[in-house]
Amino acid sequence: MIRVLLLPLTSSQMRAMKKMQQLQPEIQKLQKKYRNDPQKLNEKTMALWREHNVNPLAGCLPVLIQLPILWAFFAALRAYDFRADPGFLWIADLASPDPYVLPILTGVTTFLVTRMTSTAADPSQRVMLYGMPVFLAIVSRQFAAGLALYWVVSNLFQIVERYLVDWADRRAAKGEAG
Protein backbone atom coordinates (compact mmCIF):
# COMPACT_ATOMS: atom_id res chain seq x y z
CA MET A 1 0.00 0.00 0.00
CA ILE A 2 2.76 2.44 0.94
CA ARG A 3 4.71 1.61 -2.23
CA VAL A 4 1.60 2.38 -4.32
CA LEU A 5 1.21 5.75 -2.61
CA LEU A 6 4.88 6.55 -3.22
CA LEU A 7 4.78 5.42 -6.87
CA PRO A 8 4.69 8.94 -8.40
CA LEU A 9 7.73 9.99 -6.38
CA THR A 10 9.58 6.79 -7.15
CA SER A 11 8.94 6.99 -10.89
CA SER A 12 10.15 10.60 -11.05
CA GLN A 13 13.27 9.56 -9.12
CA MET A 14 13.87 6.68 -11.56
CA ARG A 15 13.54 8.98 -14.56
CA ALA A 16 15.95 11.50 -13.05
CA MET A 17 18.48 8.75 -12.34
CA LYS A 18 18.12 7.42 -15.88
CA LYS A 19 18.81 10.88 -17.36
CA MET A 20 21.89 11.23 -15.18
CA GLN A 21 23.12 7.78 -16.26
CA GLN A 22 22.64 8.70 -19.92
CA LEU A 23 24.80 11.80 -19.46
CA GLN A 24 27.52 9.93 -17.56
CA PRO A 25 29.78 9.29 -20.61
CA GLU A 26 29.73 13.00 -21.49
CA ILE A 27 30.41 13.97 -17.87
CA GLN A 28 33.37 11.57 -17.80
CA LYS A 29 34.77 13.23 -20.94
CA LEU A 30 34.44 16.61 -19.25
CA GLN A 31 36.15 15.27 -16.13
CA LYS A 32 39.12 14.09 -18.20
CA LYS A 33 39.31 17.30 -20.20
CA TYR A 34 39.05 19.66 -17.21
CA ARG A 35 40.62 17.53 -14.48
CA ASN A 36 43.03 20.35 -13.57
CA ASP A 37 40.39 23.09 -13.66
CA PRO A 38 37.57 22.28 -11.21
CA GLN A 39 35.81 25.59 -11.79
CA LYS A 40 35.66 25.07 -15.56
CA LEU A 41 34.55 21.46 -15.01
CA ASN A 42 31.73 22.68 -12.79
CA GLU A 43 30.66 25.29 -15.38
CA LYS A 44 30.69 22.79 -18.24
CA THR A 45 28.84 20.16 -16.20
CA MET A 46 26.14 22.67 -15.23
CA ALA A 47 25.84 23.73 -18.88
CA LEU A 48 25.46 20.09 -19.95
CA TRP A 49 22.73 19.53 -17.36
CA ARG A 50 20.93 22.71 -18.46
CA GLU A 51 21.19 21.70 -22.12
CA HIS A 52 19.54 18.33 -21.38
CA ASN A 53 17.04 19.69 -18.82
CA VAL A 54 18.56 17.60 -16.03
CA ASN A 55 18.39 18.64 -12.41
CA PRO A 56 20.93 16.64 -10.37
CA LEU A 57 18.83 17.14 -7.24
CA ALA A 58 15.67 15.77 -8.89
CA GLY A 59 16.66 12.25 -7.87
CA CYS A 60 17.21 13.29 -4.25
CA LEU A 61 13.99 15.16 -3.52
CA PRO A 62 11.67 12.14 -3.86
CA VAL A 63 13.96 10.15 -1.55
CA LEU A 64 13.89 12.91 1.06
CA ILE A 65 10.10 12.98 0.93
CA GLN A 66 9.85 9.18 1.12
CA LEU A 67 12.27 8.68 4.01
CA PRO A 68 10.06 9.95 6.87
CA ILE A 69 7.14 7.92 5.55
CA LEU A 70 9.22 4.74 5.31
CA TRP A 71 10.82 5.34 8.73
CA ALA A 72 7.38 5.67 10.29
CA PHE A 73 6.25 2.48 8.56
CA PHE A 74 9.30 0.52 9.70
CA ALA A 75 8.85 1.81 13.26
CA ALA A 76 5.22 0.68 13.22
CA LEU A 77 6.19 -2.68 11.72
CA ARG A 78 8.88 -3.25 14.35
CA ALA A 79 6.49 -2.32 17.16
CA TYR A 80 3.71 -4.56 15.86
CA ASP A 81 3.08 -7.69 17.92
CA PHE A 82 3.29 -10.41 15.28
CA ARG A 83 2.68 -13.12 17.89
CA ALA A 84 -1.03 -12.33 17.76
CA ASP A 85 -1.11 -13.39 14.10
CA PRO A 86 -1.46 -17.02 13.04
CA GLY A 87 1.38 -16.78 10.52
CA PHE A 88 1.52 -16.53 6.77
CA LEU A 89 2.16 -19.18 4.11
CA TRP A 90 5.01 -21.40 5.44
CA ILE A 91 5.89 -18.93 8.23
CA ALA A 92 4.39 -20.12 11.51
CA ASP A 93 5.43 -17.05 13.52
CA LEU A 94 5.98 -13.68 11.83
CA ALA A 95 7.81 -12.42 14.93
CA SER A 96 10.53 -15.10 14.67
CA PRO A 97 13.25 -15.17 12.03
CA ASP A 98 12.91 -17.46 9.03
CA PRO A 99 16.45 -18.79 8.63
CA TYR A 100 16.11 -20.25 5.13
CA VAL A 101 13.50 -19.18 2.60
CA LEU A 102 13.13 -15.45 3.31
CA PRO A 103 16.88 -14.75 3.47
CA ILE A 104 17.32 -16.44 0.08
CA LEU A 105 14.37 -14.51 -1.37
CA THR A 106 15.76 -11.30 0.16
CA GLY A 107 19.13 -11.89 -1.50
CA VAL A 108 17.66 -12.81 -4.89
CA THR A 109 15.16 -9.94 -5.04
CA THR A 110 17.76 -7.43 -3.81
CA PHE A 111 20.13 -8.65 -6.53
CA LEU A 112 17.43 -8.17 -9.18
CA VAL A 113 16.54 -4.67 -7.95
CA THR A 114 20.20 -3.64 -7.80
CA ARG A 115 20.88 -5.11 -11.24
CA MET A 116 17.95 -3.23 -12.75
CA THR A 117 19.02 0.10 -11.26
CA SER A 118 22.82 0.04 -11.57
CA THR A 119 25.19 0.66 -14.42
CA ALA A 120 27.41 -2.37 -15.02
CA ALA A 121 30.33 -0.24 -16.20
CA ASP A 122 30.88 1.32 -12.77
CA PRO A 123 33.11 -0.95 -10.62
CA SER A 124 31.61 0.35 -7.37
CA GLN A 125 28.18 -0.62 -8.67
CA ARG A 126 29.44 -4.17 -9.26
CA VAL A 127 30.42 -4.42 -5.60
CA MET A 128 26.90 -3.30 -4.65
CA LEU A 129 25.37 -5.71 -7.16
CA TYR A 130 26.86 -8.74 -5.44
CA GLY A 131 27.76 -7.48 -1.96
CA MET A 132 24.46 -5.95 -0.90
CA PRO A 133 22.30 -9.01 -1.68
CA VAL A 134 24.69 -11.31 0.20
CA PHE A 135 24.85 -8.91 3.15
CA LEU A 136 21.06 -8.53 3.33
CA ALA A 137 20.52 -12.29 2.98
CA ILE A 138 22.81 -12.88 5.96
CA VAL A 139 21.34 -10.06 8.04
CA SER A 140 17.73 -10.96 7.26
CA ARG A 141 18.27 -14.31 9.00
CA GLN A 142 18.11 -12.26 12.21
CA PHE A 143 15.01 -10.19 11.27
CA ALA A 144 11.49 -11.00 12.29
CA ALA A 145 9.98 -12.92 9.39
CA GLY A 146 7.35 -10.19 9.01
CA LEU A 147 10.04 -7.59 8.35
CA ALA A 148 11.94 -9.84 5.94
CA LEU A 149 8.67 -10.62 4.17
CA TYR A 150 7.98 -6.90 3.81
CA TRP A 151 11.47 -6.44 2.32
CA VAL A 152 10.90 -9.21 -0.25
CA VAL A 153 7.46 -7.90 -1.25
CA SER A 154 8.84 -4.36 -1.47
CA ASN A 155 11.66 -5.58 -3.73
CA LEU A 156 9.17 -7.41 -5.95
CA PHE A 157 7.11 -4.24 -6.17
CA GLN A 158 10.24 -2.26 -7.13
CA ILE A 159 11.02 -4.77 -9.88
CA VAL A 160 7.54 -4.43 -11.36
CA GLU A 161 7.64 -0.66 -10.88
CA ARG A 162 10.99 -0.37 -12.67
CA TYR A 163 9.77 -2.56 -15.52
CA LEU A 164 6.64 -0.41 -15.95
CA VAL A 165 8.58 2.87 -15.88
CA ASP A 166 11.09 1.52 -18.44
CA TRP A 167 8.23 0.22 -20.58
CA ALA A 168 6.49 3.63 -20.49
CA ASP A 169 9.76 5.37 -21.39
CA ARG A 170 10.32 3.02 -24.34
CA ARG A 171 6.77 3.67 -25.58
CA ALA A 172 7.27 7.42 -25.24
CA ALA A 173 10.58 7.18 -27.13
CA LYS A 174 8.89 5.19 -29.92
CA GLY A 175 6.16 7.82 -30.11
CA GLU A 176 8.75 10.58 -30.46
CA ALA A 177 10.71 8.63 -33.08
CA GLY A 178 7.67 7.57 -35.06
Q: Give yes or no: residues 121 and 169 share one domain.
A: yes
Q: Give yes or no: residues 93 and 67 share one domain.
A: no
Q: Which domain holds residue 105?
A: 82-178
Span 63-84, mean pLDDT?
68
Q: Give yes or no: residues 48 and 95 share one domain.
A: no
For residues 58 and 136, which has the higher predicted lDDT (pLDDT)? 136
Boundary of a domain, candidates 46, 64, 79: 79
DSSP structure class, residue 84 = G
Q: How confident is the model at residue 85 (pLDDT cuts 50, 70, 90)?
A: low
Q: Give yes or no: residues 91 and 168 share one domain.
A: yes
Please say whether the beta carbons of 98 and 91 come within 8 A.
Answer: yes
In this model, does residue 170 exceed pLDDT 60?
yes
Q: Give yes or no: residues 86 and 107 share one domain.
A: yes
Q: How confident is the model at residue 24 (pLDDT cuts 50, 70, 90)?
A: confident
Q: Give yes or no: residues 13 and 58 share one domain.
A: yes
Q: Give yes or no: residues 89 and 61 share one domain.
A: no
Total-model pTM:
0.56
Boundary of a domain, candidates 79, 100, 126: 79
Q: Give yes or no: residues 7 and 62 share one domain.
A: yes
Boundary of a domain, candidates 44, 64, 79: 79
For residues 62 and 40, which has the higher predicted lDDT (pLDDT)? 40
Q: Give yes or no: residues 114 and 176 share one domain.
A: yes
User: How high is the pLDDT of residue 111?
Assistant: 87
Domain count, the chain: 2
Backbone angles phi and psi of 88, in degrees to 5 = -155, 130
3 state SS for 30-79: HHHHCCCCHHHHHHHHHHHHHHCCCCCCCCHHHHHHHHHHHHHHHHHHHH
For residues 124 and 107, which has the higher predicted lDDT (pLDDT)? 107
Q: Give yes or no: residues 9 and 28 share one domain.
A: yes
169 Cβ contact partners less than 8 Å away, ≥ 6 residues apart: 15, 18
Among 82-86, 128-132, 135-139, 168-172, the minimum mean pLDDT is found in 82-86
Q: Give yes or no: residues 95 and 178 share one domain.
A: yes
Q: How far apart are CA 74 and CA 147, in angstroms?
A: 8
The pLDDT mean for the chain works out to 76
In this model, does residue 115 exceed pLDDT 70?
yes
Span 149-177, mean pLDDT?
80
Q: Give yes or no: residues 102 and 152 share one domain.
A: yes
Instruction: Provide the terminal-to-terminal Cα distance of the chain, rounded to the nearest Å.
Output: 37
